[in-house]
Homo-oligomer: A and B are copies of this chain.
């Protein structure tokens, strides 16, 4: 039987008692004939506690030292998890990132995995052991300890699964990927399968189920990833490449992203290079731009350039944008807060039709004003006032029939015979 990498996050291993529950997952997989590798995060709030200690040292801590410090969190939880597995009669051994052969570049606090030498992992598996590997960390060619930044432990798990040609089970405090956040949409349903691309779109839209880095890696190496609840039995959601059985599913989920800020540069002269000059300084301060919309302005040869960022980033980009607008001869900069985006995502959108119009109709029937619209190949997003977000989310979820078991069928029927464009 194949290799399965089981990854347990910080809240799943926050105490020894919770680790004992995780151990049952390992036992079950071994009983099912699998060879198991476990990846764990640091226990509960350990990482935040360590960052707090670092903050007491004075100046903002050196990234190399922060990595040396934070890596201890995962190392400690691997050793404890190995002990818990021993107590269950499972031959296990903990491995740090470097012991597990995880190589990274030297970008401390946000390193990228450059390779996995799975010699030792394979040898331990061959001996019937369960390696418990520290997530979120690796080693550079120069023997420096690095951490992988946000989503690092999920990324470790997928990378190990890729190197061992196995699958990856990610245990979370949710039962899988839903058609919408179940805390906001009572009728939201767990999806049995979603595609890597759908997960990537959902993640960039604010769904926190799985970090896009891990999904990207899974997509690149074709690693089947399953998202499961740590302590509630269930099938979870399987993340895979496109699948013929999914063709009729036009929209698979709707996502609400709050805290959206918007900047509009009005009546910019549309000369070559204008767009690059606007966005270069934003990239330079490491702010992520979500959507960009450019439209013709009333004045001839002029355009309005609109883009959205996290509201918390507005103030760090505003000065550069205002200076540029003046330099380029634009009319004005407008900054809006209090916005959100509601997005419909679905791999089937590539071949389906009428998704945008269905979404617009649902919002119109709810009496909501759409401030902006952007689309990708598998997504339609509408910018709305933030207070309308949850209501809009539920309306769109309902419009695509996502709360009903036969939703794929109904969505397909609804689209039948329409002739609008793909989105």
Contacts and interface: CB of A to CB of B under 8 A. Distances in A.
Interface string A105-132: 0000000000000001000000000000
Interface in A1-29: 16-17, 19
B72 A86 contact: no
A343 to B, nearest CB: 41
A50 interface: yes
Contacts of A341: none
Interface in A215-237: none
A213 interface: no
Given A59-B87, A72-B75, A64 B93 contact: yes
Nearest to A54: B83
Contacts of A143: 98-99, 120
Nearest to A74: B72
A50 B64 contact: no
B83 A58 contact: yes
Nearest to A101: B143
Contacts of A144: 99
A243 interface: no
A66 B84 contact: no
Count of identical protomers in the assembly: 2
B50 A62 contact: no
B76 A62 contact: no
Given A79-B68, A80-B69, A82-B65, A87 B57 contact: yes
B99 A86 contact: no
A206 interface: no
Interface string A165-203: 000000000000000000000000000000000000000
Nearest to A95: B68
Contacts of A76: 50, 53, 69, 72
Nearest to A70: B79
A78 interface: yes
B82 A62 contact: yes
A97 to B, nearest CB: 12
A57 B16 contact: yes
A94 interface: yes
A65 B64 CA distance: 26
Given A16-B53, A65-B93, A143-B99, A87 B58 contact: yes
A72 B79 CA distance: 10
Nearest to A56: B16
A295 to B, nearest CB: 50
Contact of A86 (B16, B19, B58, B87): B58
A16 B65 CA distance: 15
Nearest to A50: B76
B65 A94 contact: yes
A145 interface: yes
A156 interface: no
A41 interface: no
A74 to B, nearest CB: 9
A71 B75 contact: yes
A304 interface: no
Given A71-B75, A72-B75, A143-B99, A84 B64 contact: no
A79 B66 contact: yes
19 contacts: A54-B80, A57-B83, A57-B87, A58-B84, A59-B86, A62-B83, A62-B86, A65-B80, A65-B93, A66-B83, A68-B96, A69-B75, A69-B76, A69-B79, A69-B83, A72-B73, A72-B75, A75-B75, A99-B144
Kindly list the 6 A-B residue pairs having the minimum CB-CB distance in the complex, ordered from nearest: A58-B87, A69-B79, A57-B83, A72-B72, A68-B79, A16-B56
